[in-house]
Chains A and B, each alone.
Chain A
Amino acid sequence: MEQPSEIAAEVPRARDRSMVSLPILAFLSLVGGQLPSFSLSANLYTLGIGGALVWLGLSNRVPRRPVARRFWPGAAWWLLPVTVFAVVEGTTFLLGSSRNYPTFSLLADPMLEPELARSAVYFGWLAAFWALVRR
């Protein structure tokens, strides 16, 4: 049976409630936080979870939040932080991404080495991904 192109549900089903989704995301994050960078397991795990979420987000199997069909006049304010970030990231990248010209990911790498911090950031990534799937 063909899936409807857009599903908007004001009352989420039980599986979408935060009491269900948050512990699942926390468990996945704790596992992901144990896997070291550059390892095959980390690659497969991240690509697998991301692929599953992309599939869920594109297949209309998860109820989505209602979207306001308007454009906000103040949306241009978002260009300010995006531009500042892009200029610094672009400049440091073009200058070689070294100790003197560190890109954002170069600065973040040491902070992501402890497993607890890695799991916490992993949780943020997954929670935001899940929020995007529901949009």
Chain B
Amino acid sequence: MSTRLLAIGGFAVALLLFAAVEWCARREGSRIPTFGEVCAYVMRYEVGQVPVGRIGVFGFWWWLGWHFFAR
């Protein structure tokens, strides 16, 4: 098996795992948070009055869009 196929397979497994965990999280009575709830939890993190969590998550998402659509 070529390394290219191995890499594609690895990304496919990761994406399938993302979908599977999200599906499990959305079941009734699940103890797993949805991805949105995890993001909300991280975004609550503050150092003093500085919303470090929000800045970090927004900054990452902003960079991701620029990375895929502008360069």
Q: Do chains A and B stick together as partners? A: yes
Binding site for B on A (CB under 8 A): 32, 35, 37-39, 42-43, 45-47, 49-51, 53-54, 57-58, 65, 67-68, 71-75, 77-78, 80-81, 84-85, 87-89, 91-92, 99-102, 104-105, 107-108, 112, 118, 121-122, 125-126, 128-129, 131-133, 135
Chain B: interface secondary structure? helix
A74 to B29, CA, bound (A): 12
Other A-B contacts than A57-B54, A77-B32, A84-B13, 4 sampled, CB-CB below 8 A, are: A58-B54, A99-B4, A131-B36, A133-B58
CB distance A58 to B71 under 8 Å? Answer: no
10 contacts between A and B (CB under 8 A): A43-B70, A50-B66, A58-B51, A77-B25, A80-B21, A88-B10, A91-B7, A107-B7, A125-B61, A129-B62
The number of chain B residues with a CB under 8 A from chain A is: 45
Which residue of the partner chain A has the closest CB to B19?
A: A81
Which residue of the partner chain B has the closest CB to A5?
A: B49
CB distance B61 to A128 under 8 Å? Answer: yes
CB distance B57 to A101 under 8 Å? Answer: no
CB distance B69 to A37 under 8 Å? Answer: yes
Partner of B24, one of A58, A77, A100: A77
A37 to B7, CA, bound (A): 24
Contacts of B15 in A (CB 8 A): 81, 85
